Amino acid sequence: MADDQPIDQRNLPFETPTQDEIVAITGMHIEALETSNDDAVWMGAGMTHVLITIVGRKSGVTRKTPVPYWRDPEGHRIVVASFAGAEHHPAWYHNIADRVANPTVTVKERDHVYESVPEVLTGDEYGRIWGLITTDRPFYVDYQAKTQRTIPLIRLPE
């Protein structure tokens, strides 16, 4: 993908749901993602989603979370642990960042499923990707302005 022309990854306008609405929507979205390959399920506001399967770092229970992704210039999927600018990181982020509980995660996009070693971006690489992703999806800048935490970026290589 690095040699291809950049693809348009800008989002379409949407109204950010509240944290409570995000939690309520997530359960229904997981069920739909597991049973359909329809664009109406896998795309939202112009953003394609993945379904990530992780293990709860405290509970040991398998958990699934749907998140939109953006592709970096090298073609890797990048997910953003924004939780719409909430004060705390989303629970799925704590699980995915725990390399003992989750040395790998399962990533599903429609019929394509793969194991990934997630990479939490830091330093210059974080800055590079944050600049690129927020050019396409400026709402993340608004989310960052709502919170004192640094919103994590996670690369999900194949």
Question: Which pLDDT tens digit goes with each residue over 23-61?
Answer: 667 677 788 899 999 988 898 778 899 999 999 999 999
Q: Residue 12: how many CB atoms within 10 A of its CB?
A: 9
3-state helix, strand, coil in the chain (%, to 5): 35, 25, 40
Evaluate if pTM is beyond 0.95.
Answer: no
Of the listed ranges 6-10, 73-77, 136-140, 147-151, the least confidently predicted one is: 6-10
Q: Where are the domains positioned within the chain?
A: 19-156
| Encoded tokens for 17 | 């749901």
> What is the assigned CATH class of domain 19-156?
mainly beta
In sequence order, the 6+-apart residues with CB closer than 8 A to the CB of 148 are: 87
What's the confidence (pLDDT) of residue 1?
47
Looking at the predicted structure, is the pLDDT value of residue 131 above 90? yes
CA distances (Å), 100 to each of 56, 104, 105, 122, in order? Answer: 11, 9, 12, 19
End-to-end CA separation in angstroms for the chain: 13
Distance CA 49, CA 110 (A): 9
Contacts for 58 with CB less than 8 Å, ≥ 6 apart? none
Query: What is the number of H-type helices and E-type strands within the chain?
Result: 5, 8
* Mean pLDDT value across residues 59-71: 94
Query: Which has the higher per-residue pLDDT, 86 or 156?
Result: 156
**b/e map of 45-61 (b: 16 or more CB within 10 Å)?**
eebbbbbbbbbbbeeee
